[in-house]
Amino acid sequence: MPTVAPLRGLRYDPKHVGALSQVIAPPYDVIDSALQTKLYERHPANVIRIELNREEPGDSETSNKYTRAAKFLKEWREQGVVMQEPAAALYVYHQEFEVEGKKHVRRGVMARVRLERFGTGNIHPHEETMSGPKQDRLLLTRACKANLSQVFGLYPDPQGEVQALLDKAVAGQPPLEATDHLGVKSWMWPLTDEAVAAKVAGLMGPKPVFIADGHHRYETACNYRDEVAAANGGSLPPDHPANFVLMMLVGMSDPGLVVLPTHRLFVQPSVATSAELAAKLGDRFATRPAGKGPAAAHQVWDEIEGENEQGTIGLYTAGDQVWTLARITPAGRALMDRVAADHGPAWRNLGVSILHRLVIGELLGAKEIPTPGYVHLVREVVEGLETGKYPLAALVMPATVEDIRKVSETGERMPAKSTYFYPKLASGLVFNPLE
């Protein structure tokens, strides 16, 4: 039963920094060098300087991007650029954004959530993690002694009871506002009402939480807690800040929850024509030509989305510039059950699992391939194919929130790039001090 609690967050004082839009940034893992430079230039107190500080010539163990980040945070607190909330608060957080011309509003709340190692409680992962990002985030956490960006968690709330309570509590109050580099608008309301916080904690207590994004940050928080405990004789008081992590909690039924697909652009394998592809897929898929030329991806994707079946995939062969619509057959399901017997039914049903394990690995015989290009919008697929770099492309359905729940509850993790929750949460709205 996850413990959800308010926090005395650290946040920018608008009187010092002006518009919050000037100091927020995306999470570290979607920032390239060009955006990093742009954010550095946007404002001298932009959160990029702590979230993803630059490497500099002459960096050493004692002077590096992590120590500089800690120095900035310390100076900003001393100068009043960043202030601490006078009372413990929940942070109601809405994001307004557009996808393919349609407007959405995703609603949630940022809070402290008590850490549980995956597999020991009611907080569940859905993706694998890598050692490099965890080491990077651990070094940053050690230096700054704070959570600098939120983990993104989902919880079941079919009636929207928790969010209705939160929105009612902040109704009529002006929010803090910021707009990011993609035009995504963030609205945040610090909520210090203890009675509301207690009700939220009571409603959330019995619910499982599924990590949507931020697996590396969550596991890093667990590792940091264990380090702090070891340095304090092996245990910490239950209310020690290091026992908690900053998390954005969104109801799984929230109408603004958007999961984008992650389509693939393959350098390998190469299949010459749609006829060769159909022959290799055999009776495992029912196939038919569905369009010619890269731009036909739009009509193919419309058909796939309309079917809303994980086992329907669009495949493009550059040799003849033909799109093939492939629907898995009972024979394909049977083979998938055999070649992926090390996974459960929920994992084997995922479109990305079928694509990589059955189509690419088994039927095309390419078990070891270079990492494909990952894109989320159909126009990005078209643009990629028009470069002539990719002999094969795949349009694949995203895993749904329900898929995440089913796979996570079995203790399994999804293949890489199964989900992409859009938009990313803004870093720089609130930090969670860990001491």
| Each residue's pLDDT tens digit, 140-151 | 999 999 999 999
Segment 320-340 mean pLDDT: 98
Helix locations, 80-157, DSSP H: 131-144
pLDDT over 90 (residue 416) = no
Please, which residues bridge with residue 249 across strands? 109, 153
Contact (Cβ atoms closer than 8 angstroms) between residue 358 and residue 366 = no
Distance in angstroms between the alpha carbons of the first and the last residue of the chain: 24
pLDDT over 80 (residue 1) = no
pTM, two decimals, is: 0.92
pLDDT digits (tens, 9 = 90+) for 65-83: 999 999 999 999 999 999 9
Segment 276-296 mean pLDDT: 98
Q: For the chain, give the percent of residues with pLDDT over 90.
A: 95
State the Cα angle at 62 between 67 and 73, rounded to 5°. Answer: 15
Element (H, E) at 315: strand 312-317
Q: Sort 78 into a burial class: Cβ within 10 Å, 0-12 / 13-18 / 19+.
A: exposed
**Confidence band of 419 (pLDDT split at 50, 70, 90):** confident
Contact (Cβ atoms closer than 8 angstroms) between residue 293 and residue 266 = no
Q: What is the DSSP string of 60-85?
A: -SSSSHHHHHHHHHHHHHHHTSEEE-
**Confidence band of 383 (pLDDT split at 50, 70, 90):** very high
Sign of the torsion formed by the C-alpha atoms of 166, 172, 176 and 180:
positive
Contact (Cβ atoms closer than 8 angstroms) between residue 179 and residue 91 = no
CA nearest neighbour of 316 among 376, 262, 265, 373? 265
pLDDT over 70 (residue 198) = yes
pLDDT over 80 (residue 102) = yes
Please, which residues bridge with residue 234 across strands? none
Neighbours of 394 (CB within 10 A): 22
SS3 percent helix, strand, coil of the chain, rounded to 5, is: 40, 25, 35
Compute the distance between CA of residue 414 and CA of residue 405 in angstroms, rounded to an integer.
11
| Distance, CA of 29 to chain centre | 9
Mean pLDDT value across the chain: 96
pLDDT over 90 (residue 128) = no
pLDDT digits (tens, 9 = 90+) for 225-258: 999 999 999 899 999 999 999 999 999 999 999 9
Neighbours of 371 (CB within 10 A): 10
Q: What is the DSSP string of 354-398?
A: IIIIIIIIIIS--SS-PPPEEESSHHHHHHHHHTT--SEEEE-PP
Neighbours of 402 (CB within 10 A): 10
pLDDT over 90 (residue 100) = no
Phi/psi region, residue 373 (left: phi>0; alpha: psi -120 to 50; beta: rest), is beta
Whole-number pLDDT of residue 333: 98
Contact (Cβ atoms closer than 8 angstroms) between residue 105 and residue 96 = yes
**Confidence band of 27 (pLDDT split at 50, 70, 90):** very high
Instruction: Supply 107's token pair.
Output: 């609603």
Whole-number pLDDT of residue 186: 98
Whole-number pLDDT of residue 218: 97
Whole-number pLDDT of residue 2: 83
**Confidence band of 411 (pLDDT split at 50, 70, 90):** confident
Write out 257-302 in H/E/C secondary structure: CEEECCEEEECCCCCCCHHHHHHHHHHHEEEEEEEECHHHHHHHHH
Compute the distance between CA of residue 189 and CA of residue 321 in angstroms, rounded to an integer.
51
